[in-house]
A and B are shown apart, each in its own frame.
Chain A
Amino acid sequence: MEMLFFKKTVKLLSSFFNLFASASLAAMILLTCIDVSMRYFFNRPIAGTYDLVSLMGAVIAAFAMPYTMLMKGHVAVDLFVRRLSTKTQLVVETTTHIVGMLLFLTLVWQSYALASDMKTVGEVTPTLLLPFYPVVYCMSVCFFVLCLAILVNLLDIWLKRGKK
């Protein structure tokens, strides 16, 4: 029961994060188009488009991570594992999922550290002088939800096996 609740929560959270990524993509399209037309028709480009578009790109990729993981959107080489016995497959999958979680927990920790550094040093974007660190804190949170999504995928693999 708790497991089901956990799965549902992670899925909901991932969808919500992806909605945010989608909104960021829409905003990126609009902002760039408005900037281009302001530049050509009125000779008045929007200052800082470059900064904002770069940060929006980071938001799209980071906030789409948990969703992409749950939808199994990543490219992987399937050819070899597919031929193994179900039991060996389970061992391989469990190992890779745990290694994956460790890798991204490292990224949770390190991007948090990076954000703190950026905050102390006061790194800002070139034109608008926006601080970088909030986006990097967000990335840290996204990496954490990604870890949860990997865990959900692993649970699914085990549950499927249990049913068989």
Chain B
Amino acid sequence: MNALKAGMIAPEFTLAATPDQKVSLSEFRGRPVVLAFYPADWSPVCGDQLGLYNELKGEFDRYNATLIGISVDGIWCHLAFAKDRKYHFPLLSDFEPKGATAKAYGVYREKDGESERALFVIDGDGAIRWSYVSPVGINPGADGILRELEALGKTRSK
């Protein structure tokens, strides 16, 4: 499966963020969105990766960007995970049909029934500006995301 690349339109999705609230990508039109697909709640590497993004809320705010985590875990699992780790950003549940959003972005691992560890930076017009698939065991950090948000900020202010 090949991840969608820069220049492609980011597929629309509507996924649960809480038991009674759904979030659609199109709601964020006009501002950058960072999608962080990750394999599963609670696994140690994901925890570190999302924990790092959690420390960077101020940086994402500076670029007026919204960070969204997505995995195939159910919403109750997400709620417990986010509460335990004190996350300040939404975790969306790509649960039913399982992995449909990950499949649309080309980052679903059929064999494992989980998504890749993949990052997408989407601009205010809904176009993918940067995508990156990390080896599953390796936490991709945040340098690529921040570089792209900075570049986006520059093109916008021109």
- Are A and B part of the same complex? no
